[in-house]
Structure 1
Amino acid sequence: MSLLKSTLSRKNLMALTGLFLCFFLVIHLLGNLQLLLPAATAADSFNHYSALLSGNIFIKIISYVLYFSLIAHSLDALFITLKNRKATAKYAFDNRKKVSKWYSRNMGILGTVLLIFLVIHFKDFWYVYKFGALPLDKMGNKDLYVIVVNAFKSWWYVGLYIVSMLALGYHLLHGFKSAVRTLGLYHPKYAAYVQTFGTVYSYAITIGFSVIPVYVHLAHFGL
């Protein structure tokens, strides 16, 4: 019984942190969409936005919640995946392939891809912005825009970003509905709406984040 309660608690925590991360992705995407503005406008706007976020106490609190959510979500996912594999190994035949999507059965792989991407992403942007010696723009703000442009200079980096966003999209397709169901909010009467919202959300996040590196590359370096 204690093991069951522990697993349920972990699933609830993973659902809550997952939904928070879904909310954060929307805010993060809205901020990053400034990169689609004309170069001169995008630089000033994006750097000002970044400086505003780094100096806001409320945003700092949200950042700590984000860090906790990322760590807790990853650790809980690892624990539950290992627990499920151990349980599945006791059965001689597993017929889940006929009733589930491939991405639902491979959330661990998708999550691993995303974890690797996050390490690279934090190193190239967050760490450099927080601890690197960045040049200042004409407004006196750290010039994060230059770092973004330089990062997306290479097609291989753009490709890595897009592949990671595809992994994120498939992760969200299963994760959003799963989180809602885990928290007991998935009523049959509204199941179709939840499914539609989750699908639209997943596609919007995936396409939105994927377009940005392609646009930045083409706008600054061409084909």
Structure 2
Amino acid sequence: MKAEDILSRLTTQLKDPTGVRWNEIDLLEYITDGQRQVCLLVPKAYMVIESVKLAAGTEQTVPAGSSQFGAALVNMGSDGDTRGPAINESEFSDMNRFNPGWQTDPTSTVVTDFMFEYDNPLTYWVYPPVPSTPDVWIKIRTPKIPAVVTSPGALMNVNDLYLTPIYEYCMYRALSKDAQTKNTIEAENHRQRFFNALGLKVEADKGHRQRQRGGDE
């Protein structure tokens, strides 16, 4: 999906094909903000899997451009290309209870466990501690912050499933620019439809997961 897919829909709905009331720069800004609002509310809308080199020790920071930590998946050797053992998720409370000294245990070039806290979204921890040498790489999954949309031909970071909520957000922003009562009311309607569209998507995904598991969550 490209920005122009939303842009053409906006100019038609706003009845402003020549950009007199809402110029292209404004609308591209709304599209950028719309993508980011979607990803703020639904982080998986723009998820990336990448190899990262770990810092020495246990505490790690997500790569630049990430909005939060997702998961550690698999060891990738000392070169970032050699796939190794999978990495398990553990709980801080369990690790602290059963191995209080885990952060000062002997180092290893193979990570077995990862931990993270929801209230500290940019940081995660690995076990055993990582040595300063040789390099240790793992593959992680993280939600990303969408790039600024600078042209109609720019590719969107989220897929086509989120076209409608982004469109609704842009309409909300565009109509909020006008102080007329009619447009203010219509802007609020678009804002509500933005949240409704995302809510329906979240509920549909939840139902799909339940069906896969064969029961309720």
Q: Which structure shows the bigger proportion of residues in helix conformation?
A: 1
TM range, normalised to the smaller chain? under 0.3
TM-score by length of 2: 0.28
Q: Which structure shows the bigger proportion of residues in strand conformation?
A: 2
